[in-house]
Amino acid sequence: MNTITTSDFNFKGQTAVYHGKVRDVYTLEDQKLVMVASDRISAFDHILPKGIPFKGQVLNQVATYFLNATRDIVPNWLLATPDPSVAVGKACEPIRVEMVIRAYLAGHAAREYKLGKRILCGVSLPEGLIENDRLPNPIITPAVKADEGHDEDISREDIIAHGHVSEAIYSKMEAYTYALFQRGTEMALAQGLILVDTKYEFGILDGEVILIDEIHTPDSSRYFYADGFEERQSKGEEQKQLSKEFVRQWLIENGFQGLDGQEIPFMPDEFVQIISERYIELYERITGKEFVKSDTTNITERINANVAAYLNA
């Protein structure tokens, strides 16, 4: 199965390109961005060696679905999706703070809790929780985006004190985060899923706070199946989930957590296929729509033609 793991496009009016962990972002001269969602997959801030079939399409189409469904809450960067794996939008000045919001003790928060930490990003956590327990209320645990390596946990107070953003802007980001998470939670429950945690990124355009990047995708979010959640939790069983966490767990079981001296384990083709199927399953579960696989005969040519047609129009 063909995948796109690298890109080197030269779009009309292109002035710059940035290759991220998963997305390649092309800047155009008219203050537009062309964001190509590759089939790369990252975990523990490392890009894994194999592309995942249809992963970029899933990410792009899930993000588009939720960006369009939340425009009444916050303005966002998206203008169009001329290709299944491409989004075109407005260039904003990114705010280098990720707004991570959690309703359950899972993932990074659970790992920190097991180490005995009861304060995460300045937020107190109650005693007596077990992994995947619901928190009394959703909490925001921000992270400062790093140029390289792991993003760093940070408190609301330190974000403002260190001048990452003003208190007024942070307060607006905070309000948007709670509102977006509430909408995402409601939409997930309607499809039999629990939105466990997610992250939002914002930018500034003409002095206004704008939602940017992806939202509620399996790369940026964690979902549990609602059916049987309470029973599994009461028995201390692992939750059935749709997210990238199972990839992280596989890596941990195979001796990799992104630490110095650790090597990324070999990924069998069977596991790559499982990841692809899980991504497609999440798309269908969260949107209620059948996933239509795009033509992957030559993904690069397809993207180039579709973007050129959009820009020329």
CATH number at residue 303: 3.30.200.20
What pLDDT, on the 0 to 100 scale, is given for residue 232?
A: 97
Please state at what angle helix 55-69 crosses helix 269-287, rounded to 10 degrees: 20
Residues 187 and 306 in one domain: no
**How much is the pLDDT for 184?**
97
- Kindly state whether residues 293 and 178 are assigned to the same domain: no
Domain hosting residue 30, numbered range: 14-92+272-312
Residue 295 lies in a domain: yes
Q: Is residue 263 part of a domain?
A: no
98 and 233 belong to one structural domain:
yes
Query: What is the predicted pLDDT for the residue at 165?
Result: 96
Residue 132 shares a structural domain with residue 150: yes
Contact 73, 218 (CB under 8 A): no
Sign of CA dihedral 18, 23, 25, 26: positive
pLDDT at 224: 94
Are both 86 and 172 inside the same structural domain? no
Residue 119, judged by CB atoms within 10 A of its CB (0-12, 13-18, 19+), counts as exposed
Same domain, 130 and 22: no
Please identify every stretch of the chain with a pLDDT value under 50, giving residue numbers as ranges: none
Burial code (b: 16+ CB inside 10 Å, e: under 16) for 123-160 equals bebeeebebbebbeebbbbbbeeeeeeebebbbbeebb
Examine the domain organization and report whether 224 and 277 are in the same domain. Answer: no
For residues 307 and 313, give the distance between their C-alpha atoms in angstroms, rounded to a whole number: 10
Distance CA 177, CA 73 (A): 10
Q: What is the pTM of this model?
A: 0.91
Whether residues 84 and 108 fall in one domain: no
pLDDT for res 147 = 61
What is the per-residue pLDDT for 219?
84
Decide if 65 is inside a domain: yes
Q: Looking at the domain assignment, is residue 252 inside a domain?
A: no
Question: How high is the pLDDT of residue 223?
Answer: 93
| Residues 206 and 175 both lie in one domain | yes
